[in-house]
Chains A and B, each alone.
Chain A
Amino acid sequence: MRLSRRRVRAIFGKELREYRRTGSIIVAMLVIPLVFAINPLVAVFGLSASDASSLSHSHALLYLLGIPALVPTVVAAYAVVGERRQGTLEPVLSTPIRSEEFLLGKGLAAFVPSLAVSYVVYAFVLVLIELFANPGVASALVKPPELLAQVLFTPLLAGWSIWIAMAISTRTSDPRTTQQLALLAGLPSVVVTTLVAYGVIPATLAVALVSAAVLLILNRLGWRVVSALFDRERLVASTK
């Protein structure tokens, strides 16, 4: 099967234009990262140099991996059910587009802004810590391996959340329910990253590599599984 880049780009570009003009999407994509960022920042600013030694054994900033796990669900959950609701799915599916192309375009349109938001917020948190936290606390918190983990796991977690949200979106008919279910489905990833951040799950290289490999496989499978779940006939003909 040959995928058409032009068709994928058409869906991707259309989605980004729609996001830009839909205030509620922009607000939702900013609120979640702010909630994630403010809490640890307030805690960090209250720490003194004596707390630095206990921090050097924790991976508190990995907590911010919750952002890529949750932010993309805001838009990805709307991907299919939203098109159905506004009556645009049938005209799109009447064109030569394949299900895989449609879903890839939608997925990328959720992926790119989520990635951007996650990295920007992470960078913003790092800058604030370097500027305003106690220097000892700052050097205990900001560690190069964690930085690498953040860079590596942000796209993997975002991708996984997108496929889960889109899978739900192909099977439901109400956008609000879909969004709630997608947020719920994203929570296990947040729980895992939080457990790593607080040292319950050891943050070793082996754990990181295995997790990355599993997420990579899940992302590859996710596209195929969601494409298989994408039943044109049910989506066009059924009201359920």
Chain B
Amino acid sequence: MPEYLAAERAGPALSVTALTKRFGERTAFEDISFEVGYGEVFGFLGPNGAGKTTTVRTLGTLIAPTSGSARVAGIPLVPENGVEIRRRIAIMPEAPGLYLHLSVTENLECFADLYETPDARDRIERSLHAVNLTRRARDVCGGLSKGLRQRVALARALLSDPEVLFLDEPTTGLDPAATRDVHELIDGLRRRGVTIFLTTHRLEEAERLCHRVAILNTRLRTIGRPDELRDRLFTKSLEVRTLAPLSEPDRVFAGLPAVEGWHNDGLATYLLAVSDPLIAAPAVIRALVAAGADVVSISESRHSLEDVYLELVDHGAEAKRR
């Protein structure tokens, strides 16, 4: 028995080390390393042309890496393992790629045979049920809306019960209702413990669905849980609003525990850099009351994943320009 089969499920679902792909002079992605655990939903974020789709194709054995190494579903990513890797994964590309002259069921039958799935009929029924398409099974795919086609593509990806499911921009081009449907389906898969590698440039999608995210812009900029990334990149801050401007804000905020600095953010609004909001907030309120200020609100400033993304991607672009 090959060593990788014995080690199956013992290690991570995906393990990527210093992987690089170049097309001639052009670098698609460079020196990327990360791991994805079984049952994890891993978001792969980046602007257009960052190398997200090429990464999926490389890990899906459609494209050979230029250098570096990876293990997909525990199997080393080398050409001779291509069939074995593809047997254990499924890729849903950005465009559904359905046979439009065939019905939903005929499309799924074809792919069930390509995966050599046992009990094909049962698998097809389960996949259709998972994406709420049972009633459209006989419909010709050419007559389906974009959102429904995307659902068929997702059903197709679920046919083989994959160990790792790659979803490449699954909501691109969908209207808000269809996007919500796809999000709910992915959320359902997440709850079932399916390992998902999700590429997207929709940040709210990643924030909502992913346990961890990586931000790619040819090179990997950062990786971690969305809240972890926020903490790592931005100083924590409290936003204080008073009814009237403070006469001596320096005197009020100086020396308070956990407050590291402050600046005006409007006429009677102050942004305080803090090391720990839970220690700083009560002290700030006490100081404001003691100073006779009328406090309108005090809140912790929240940075979205979008802030993190823009910070990293813009810095990357700036660095490239320099």
Interface residues of A (CB under 8 A from B): 4, 6-7, 9-11, 13-14, 17-18, 21-22, 86-98, 232-233, 236-237
Contact = CB atoms under 8 A, between A and B. Distances in A.
Interface in B74-109: 83-84, 86-87, 89-91, 93, 95-102, 106, 109
B179 to A, nearest CB: 20
Nearest to A88: B97
Contact of A237 (B57, B102, B160): B57
B149 to A, nearest CB: 11
B63 A14 contact: no
A22 B140 CA distance: 13
Given A18-B99, A94-B93, 9 more contacts: A14-B106, A18-B102, A86-B100, A87-B97, A90-B57, A90-B93, A94-B60, A94-B89, A96-B87
A94 B111 CA distance: 10
Contact of A94 (B62, B64, B95, B109): B62
A97 B114 contact: yes
Contacts of A95: 86, 111, 114-115, 160
B113 interface: yes
A127 B118 CA distance: 48
B95 A10 contact: no
Contacts of B63: 232-233, 236-237
Of the four ranges (under 10, 10 to 19, 20 to 34, 35 or more), the interface on chain B belongs to 20 to 34
Counting from the closest, the 3 A-B pairs by CB-CB distance are A10-B113, A95-B114, A21-B101
A89 B99 CA distance: 10
B134 interface: no
Contacts of A93: 62
16 contacts: A4-B116, A7-B114, A10-B111, A13-B110, A18-B101, A22-B101, A87-B93, A87-B97, A90-B91, A91-B111, A94-B62, A94-B93, A95-B160, A233-B62, A233-B63, A237-B62
A10 B112 CA distance: 9
Contacts of B110: 10-11, 13-14
Contact of B57 (A17, A22, A236): A236
Contact of B90 (A94, A232, A236): A94
A236 B93 CA distance: 11
Contacts of A92: 114
B180 to A, nearest CB: 24
A6 B96 CA distance: 23
Contacts of B89: 94
B102 to A, nearest CB: 6
